[in-house]
Amino acid sequence: MTLIRNTHFWVILLLFAALTFLQYVEQLGILGTQPPSEHFGLTRHSLERIVFLIPIIYGGYIFGLKWGLTIAGGALAVMLPRAIFISNYPGDALLESLGVVVVGGLACLWTWTISRERERFRSALEDLESAHRLLQHYVRSARSHEKTLTVLNAISGELTKSLVLKDVLRTAVNMVMELMEVEAALVFSLDEDTQELVLIAHEGVSESFARAVDRMKVGEGFNGGVAASGKPVTVKDASSDPRLTRPEVKKMKIQSQLIVPITIRGRVRGTLCVAMRRPREFFPEEIDLLSAVAAQMGTAIENAYLFERARDTAERLMVSEKNYRELFENANDAIWVHDLAGNITAANKASEKLTGYSVQELTGMNAKLFLSDEGLNLAGTIRRKLMEKEPVTQPYEQNLLRKDGSVAAVMLTTSLVTDEKTPVAFHHIARDVTEEKRIKENLRHYVQQVTIAQEEERKRIARDFHDEIAQSLYALTRRIDNYTRSSPHLTSVDNEFLAQLRNQTEAALQGVRRSSHALRPPMLDDLGLLATLRWLVGDLSRLSGIQAELVVTGTERRLTPEAEVTVFRIVQEALRNVEKHASATSISVKVEFAGTKLRVSISDNGKGFNLNEKLAELPRTGKLGLVGMEERIKLLGGTLEVRSSPDAGTVIIAEAPV
C-alpha cells in the first residue's frame, strides 16, 4: 500500500510503459514506416533502447539497487524480442540492449554506493553525538555526585554543631534547599497532644502562606497525609489538587512537592517538605536522599529540644528550691554543683550514669578528679570568664574521666551561682555525646571511603573515555581521511561535508581527552603530583588565557597516592573556581615541602568576596567547592585557610602532614 501511494512509483511505471510502447509501435500498426525505419534521426530503434536508462537510473536512485536491477531486467525482457526477432540488425540490437542494461546497472550500483557511504557517515555522526551525550552524562553525574557528598557531609556537621533549636532549623532549611535545588522548604513538628502539625521553620514562602499551613490536623492536606501514613509523597501539580482548600495556599501556585516524614525512634514526629512553583519530577534517589536528611534533622531537633529543656530546667532551679530539687533529681542530663574550691556539694541520679560513681561517692569529691590536664586548662578558662563576667560560648565540649577509666565526651553548660551577688558555686549541666562523636567519626570514615570510591570511579570513567570513546573517535577520523584520499569522484560539497565531519570528530576527540584528564590524569599515577600540577597550570593558561605559574620550594619528593590525589583535587577545584568566578588575570600556585609538612597556596588577583562566615557555613551561600576542599584536607589531618575580600583577590592555603 505504501508503494502504490508513492508518486515516483507511478512515474517510473508510466515511463516504462511508454518506452515499451515505442519499442513496438510499428507492430501495433500505429506508424507505417518500412524498415529500415528512422526515428528521431536514429535508425534501428537505438533511441528507444537508450531512453530505457531513464527509468532504470531513476528507480535505482529512488528505491535502491534492488529496484534498479529489477527495472533493468524488465527493460531487457522488453528489448530482447525486438532485438532477436524483429530487428534487421539483430547483432547490433542485442549489443545495444545489453549495453543499456549494463550501463543502467552500473549507474544504479554507483548511486547505491554513494547513498550507502552517506548513510555510513550519517551513522558515524549519530554515534559521535551519542558519545558526546554520554560524555556529558558522565561529567554531570560525577559533578552531581561530588556536590551531593559535600553538601551531605556539611549538613551532618552543621546539624550536630549547635544545640540551639532556632540555629539548627535555619541551617537545616537552607541546606535542604541547596541540596535539593528547590524554591521552598518547610519543616513541621507534630504536637502529640493536639495531633496537629506545627510549622517550625520555612524558607521561600510568604508569611501569609506560613500562617495558613500552620496547625494542620494529622491527615489534612499533603503534609498531614504523610504524618498519618509515615510514607513519602510526591505531588506533580499541587495548585489544582482538590485536597487544597485554603485560599492562601492556592495563591502561592506551588506545583511540585516532595514530602517525607521526620521520624525519631520509629515514630513520626513531623514532616519535611520541599516544593517548586514549576513542574519537576522527583526521582527515587532524591526521595531516599531527602529521607536521609530528614532522619538526621529529626535527631538534631530532638537534641535541641532536650538541650532547651535542660537549659530552661536549670533556670527554673534558681527560682524555687522545691521545684529545683524535684527537677534536679529527675533530670535526664547529669547535673552537679561544686563550690569555688571544686568540691561537689550536690549531684543527681543522671550523674551516676555519666561518671560511674554513686551520688554518695560524688558528694564531697573534687571535680578535678574527673579532668585531664587539658580538661583542667579548659575548666580554668571557663571559670575565669564567668568570674569576670566575660561572654562564654555554651555549651562547650569537655572530656570527663569515668570511674572505670574510660573517657566520656560531654556537652557542658556551666553557670555561676551567686548569693547576694557574691560567687559561691558553679552549676553544671552535662549531656553525654560520646556516642554522637563516635557516629561522627564513623561518618568521617564513611566520607573517606566514599572519596576513595569516587576516585576509583573517576579513574574507571577516564579509562573508559580513553580506551573506548577516544579510540573510536580516532578511528573515525582515520576512516574519513582514508575515504577522502581514496575517492577522487567526490564533489566539492562532499569534500566540504567530510572536512566538517572530521573537524567535529577531532574537536570531540580533544574534548574527550580533556574530560578524561580532568577526571583522572594518568600522569598523576605515573609521574606524580608535581608533574600533574605543571600540566594543570599550563593547561589553564593555554585554554583560558589567565597567566598562571607554579612555584615549588623545598626538596621535591613523591607522596602517598592518597595524599597526591587529595592535593591535586584541592588545586584543581581552586583553579576551576578562579576560572569561573574570580575574573582574575593571574594565578600563582606555590608548593612548599617543609620537613614532614606540605603547604600549598593558591592566590589570584580576582574580584574576591566577603568572607564573614566559617567554612562550614559556606554551603548556604553556594560556595560548595571550599567546603569540599576542607573536607578533603581533613582526611589527611590537615587544615584549610581562606583569605579573601572584595577587589583584593583570594588566597587558599592548605597544610597537611605528609
**Does one domain contain both 177 and 69?**
no
Task: For residue 40, tell me if it sits in a domain.
Answer: yes
Task: For residue 413, tell me if it sits in a domain.
Answer: yes
Contact 428, 413 (CB under 8 A): yes
Task: For residue 253, tell me if it sits in a domain.
Answer: yes
Task: For residue 490, tell me if it sits in a domain.
Answer: no
Dihedral angle over CA of 376, 377, 382, 384, nearest 10: 110
First to last CA, the chain: 77
Please say if the pLDDT value at position 41 is more than 50.
no
pLDDT score recorded for residue 601: 92
**Does one domain contain both 305 and 187?**
yes
Q: Vertex 567, ends 514 and 578: CA angle to 5°?
A: 60
DSSP state of 619: G
| Secondary structure (H, E, C), 52-82 | CHHHHHHHHHHHCHHHHHHHHHHHHHHHHHH
> Rounded to the nearest 5°, which phi and psi values hold at 253?
55, 40
CATH number at residue 589: 3.30.565.10
* CA 425 vs CA 342, 345, 384, 412, 419: distances in Å: 8, 9, 13, 16, 9
**Does one domain contain both 636 and 569?**
yes
R_g of the chain, CA atoms, integer Å: 41
- Taking the mean position of all CA atoms in its chain, how far away is CA 353? 45
Task: For residue 438, tell me if it sits in a domain.
Answer: no
**Does one domain contain both 372 and 408?**
yes
- Choosing from 385, 411, 432, the residue where a domain stops is 432
Contact 370, 401 (CB under 8 A): yes
Residues 13-25 as b/e (b if ≥16 CB within 10 A, e otherwise) read eebbeebbebbee
pLDDT score recorded for residue 589: 92
- Lowest-pLDDT choice from 20-34, 384-398, 515-529, 577-591: 20-34
**Does one domain contain both 374 and 303?**
no
308-330 pLDDT per residue, tens: 666 665 555 555 455 556 566 66
* Number of domains, the chain: 4
Q: Using a pLDDT cut of 90, give the percent of the chain over it.
A: 3
- Choosing from 312, 334, 357, the residue where a domain stops is 312
Strand 547-553 to strand 586-594: parallel, antiparallel, or no bridges (unpaired)? parallel
d(CA 65, CA 363): 105
How many C-beta atoms lie closer than 10 Å to residue 333's C-beta?
23
Task: For residue 162, tell me if it sits in a domain.
Answer: no
Average pLDDT, the chain: 77
**Does one domain contain both 299 and 358?**
no
**Does one domain contain both 117 and 181?**
no
d(CA 512, CA 529): 22
* Amino acid at residue number 515: S
CATH number at residue 347: 3.30.450.20
Contact 45, 88 (CB under 8 A): no
**Does one domain contain both 185 and 299?**
yes
Q: Read off the pTM.
A: 0.39
572-621 pLDDT per residue, tens: 888 888 888 888 889 999 999 988 889 999 999 888 887 765 555 555 55
pLDDT score recorded for residue 157: 63
Task: For residue 447, tell me if it sits in a domain.
Answer: no
CATH number at residue 186: 3.30.450.40
Contact 75, 16 (CB under 8 A): yes
**Does one domain contain both 78 and 20?**
yes
**Does one domain contain both 416 and 329?**
yes
**Does one domain contain both 530 and 569?**
yes
Task: For residue 528, tell me if it sits in a domain.
Answer: yes
**Does one domain contain both 347 and 307?**
no
Contact 111, 52 (CB under 8 A): no
Please say if the pLDDT value at position 266 is more than 70.
yes
- Say which residue, 442 or 374, is predicted with more confidence: 374
Helix (H) or strand (E) holding 168: helix 165-180
Q: Using a pLDDT cut of 70, give the percent of the chain over it.
A: 77
- Choosing from 103, 126, 149, the residue where a domain stops is 126
**Whole domain around residue 110: which residue ranges?**
7-126
